[in-house]
């Protein structure tokens, strides 16, 4: 089966700024593909080129077997899109707006709009201009999913959503995948990509710095930890954690008999928990690092500022 999305050397320059540099992506049909990277790494630019909202400076893209440029409305109807900078306003009610949009998309199954709105907890009777940012985002998600498109292109889809709604969104993505649809999702939130995606490309400065399946990228191994235990000495605990749990950080004695630790685990949490379990655990917090730190720990280089080059004629 041909790829749902295929790009070859896809590039976009804005004057001296290279937003996307020679991107080769293959998104298999029926998969969830995550595009992750820090602000300014080229995620939005890539998605916009796939939708022909902007045109590449160089390279080619194929979306559902067609060129975004020549695919026209027939291609567009097979895609559900939520932009990263969703702007909705005015006095029109949510339900009316969605029905107008449904006239432009592929047929929307009866009840689809209401059932999506109910799942996300969105009140369709409110004027769009009075909705909060999170509720406008929900409206954007309903319009992206309502016609069961073959391809969903979702730019930072959970921005502004509370955790319960984020979970519902992930469920919607899983269901779309189970129904054979393809999802391309951008995010700077690592955990979201890890939960949703089969394959991931990590972008930095418009270039792919890592690509593969989520498990093999091992982006989830780093953890920040804080804990307090009783029944040991700082030096003893520090030694045990460093030897057994890939711990880097500090262990100090504080008030009473509590020993406090704060640091980073480079492996899984299991050896760490097993060391702590030898003592009375008074407090424990395990946190995921941000994307930047995870990728830095893996690839040993920091995210850098967007690259600037001499402008080329015609860019």
Ligand X SMILES: Nc1ncnc2c1ncn2[C@@H]1O[C@H](COP(=O)(O)OP(=O)(O)OP(=O)(O)O)[C@@H](O)[C@H]1O
The footprint of ligand X (CB under 6 A) covers 14, 17, 19, 37, 39-45, 84, 188, 306
Residue closer to ligand X, measured from CB, 21 or 116: 21
111, 124, 196, 267 from 146: Cα distances, Å = 9, 14, 19, 41
Residue closer to ligand X, measured from CB, 37 or 71: 37
Residue closer to ligand X, measured from CB, 13 or 177: 13
d(CA 8, CA 183): 19
Residue closer to ligand X, measured from CB, 85 or 255: 85
**Shortest distance in whole angstroms from residue 2 CB to ligand X:** 26
- Closest Cα partner for 288 from 190, 212, 207? 190
Buried b (16+ CB within 10 A) or exposed e, 27-62: bbbbbbbbbbbbebbbbbbbbbbbbbebebbebebb
Residue closer to ligand X, measured from CB, 112 or 315: 315
**Shortest distance in whole angstroms from residue 147 CB to ligand X:** 25
CB atoms under 10 Å from CB of 164, counted, come to: 10
CB 315 within 8 A of CB 16: no
- φ, ψ for residue 253, nearest 5 deg: -85, 140
Residue closer to ligand X, measured from CB, 53 or 164: 53
**Shortest distance in whole angstroms from residue 37 CB to ligand X:** 5
What's the token pair of residue 74? 């027939």
**Shortest distance in whole angstroms from residue 53 CB to ligand X:** 11
Place of tokens 């792919």: 208
**Shortest distance in whole angstroms from residue 67 CB to ligand X:** 21
**Shortest distance in whole angstroms from residue 54 CB to ligand X:** 8
**Shortest distance in whole angstroms from residue 50 CB to ligand X:** 12
DSSP state of 130: G
CA-only gyration radius of the chain, Å: 23
Report the DSSP beta bridge partners of residue 127: 93
Place of tokens 């009375």: 280
Residue closer to ligand X, measured from CB, 150 or 155: 155
């Amino acid at each position: 089966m041909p790829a749902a999305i295929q790009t070859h050397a896809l590039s976009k320059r804005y004057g001296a700024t290279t937003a996307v540099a020679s991107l080769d992506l293959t998104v298999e049909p029926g998969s969830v593909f995550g595009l992750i990277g820090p602000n300014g790494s080229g995620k939005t630019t890539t998605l916009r080129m796939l939708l022909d909202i902007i045109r590449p400076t160089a390279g080619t893209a194929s979306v559902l077997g067609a060129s975004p440029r020549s695919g026209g409305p027939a291609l567009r109807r097979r895609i559900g899109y939520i932009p990263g900078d969703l702007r909705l306003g005015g006095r029109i009610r949510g339900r009316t707006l969605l029905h107008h949009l449904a006239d432009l998309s592929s047929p929307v199954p009866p009840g689809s709009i209401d059932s999506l709105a109910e799942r996300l907890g969105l009140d369709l009777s409110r004027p769009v201009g009075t909705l909060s940012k999170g509720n406008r985002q929900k409206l954007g998600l309903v319009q992206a999913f309502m016609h069961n498109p073959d391809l969903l292109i979702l730019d930072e889809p959970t921005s502004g959503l509370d955790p319960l709604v984020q979970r519902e969104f992930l469920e919607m993505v899983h269901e779309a995948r189970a129904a054979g649809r393809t999802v391309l999702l951008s995010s700077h939130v690592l955990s979201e990509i890890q939960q949703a995606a089969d394959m991931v490309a990590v972008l930095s400065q418009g270039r792919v710095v890592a690509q593969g399946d989520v498990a093999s990228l091992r982006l989830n191994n780093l953890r920040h930890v804080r804990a307090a235990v009783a029944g040991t000495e700082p030096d003893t605990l520090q030694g045990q954690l460093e030897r057994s749990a890939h711990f880097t950080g500090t262990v100090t004695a504080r008030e009473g008999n509590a020993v406090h630790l704060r640091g980073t685990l480079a492996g899984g949490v299991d050896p760490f928990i097993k060391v702590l379990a030898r003592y009375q655990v008074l407090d424990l917090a395990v946190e995921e690092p941000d994307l930047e730190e995870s990728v830095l720990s893996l690839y040993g280089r920091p995210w850098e500022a967007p690259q600037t080059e001499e402008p080329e004629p015609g860019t």
